[in-house]
Amino acid sequence: MARFSSLRPVVRIATALVIAGAAVTLPSGAVSAAPLAGPVVKDLTFTCEMPLIGAQQVAAKVTATFPETVTAGSPIDVTGFSVAVSLEGDSVTALNLIGAATIEGTASANVDVDYNGTELGVTLNGLGFPVTAVPQDGPLALAITGPIPGLTVKKPGSVAFAVGGTFTGKVTPRRADGTPTDLGTFDLPCGIDPGQNPALATVTVS
pLDDT of residue 32: 38
- Domain residue limits, the chain: 16-205
**DSSP of 23-54:** EEE--SS----PPBPPPEEEEEEEEEEETTTE
Measure the CA–CA gap between 157 and 19, rounded to whole angstroms.
Answer: 13
Does the domain at residues 16-205 carry the CATH identifier 2.60.40.2270? yes
Task: State percent of the chain over pLDDT 90.
Answer: 73
pLDDT of residue 94: 95
Long-range contacts of residues 51-58, Cβ cutoff 8 Å, at least 24 apart: 51/94, 51/183, 51/186, 52/94, 52/97, 52/98, 52/183, 53/90, 53/91, 53/94, 56/87, 56/89, 56/90, 56/91, 57/193, 58/85, 58/86, 58/87, 58/91, 58/190
Q: Are strands 199-205 and 69-70 parallel, antiparallel or unpaired?
A: parallel
Sign for the CA dihedral angle at 135, 140, 141, 146 comes to positive
Q: What is the pLDDT of residues 61-116, one digit of tens each?
A: 999 999 999 999 999 999 999 999 999 999 999 999 999 999 999 999 999 999 99
Of the given ranges (94-98, 125-129, 194-198), which has the lowest mean pLDDT?
125-129
| Contact (Cβ atoms closer than 8 angstroms) between residue 128 and residue 106 | yes
**Pairwise pLDDT comparison (82 vs 23), residue with the higher score:** 82
Measure the CA–CA gap between 77 and 144, rounded to whole angstroms.
Answer: 19
Residue 12 has pLDDT above 60, yes or no: no
pLDDT of residue 2: 34
Of the given ranges (34-43, 135-144, 180-189), which has the lowest mean pLDDT?
34-43
Measure the CA–CA gap between 43 and 63, rounded to whole angstroms.
Answer: 9
pLDDT of residue 77: 92
Q: How confident is the model at residue 38 (pLDDT cuts 50, 70, 90)?
A: low
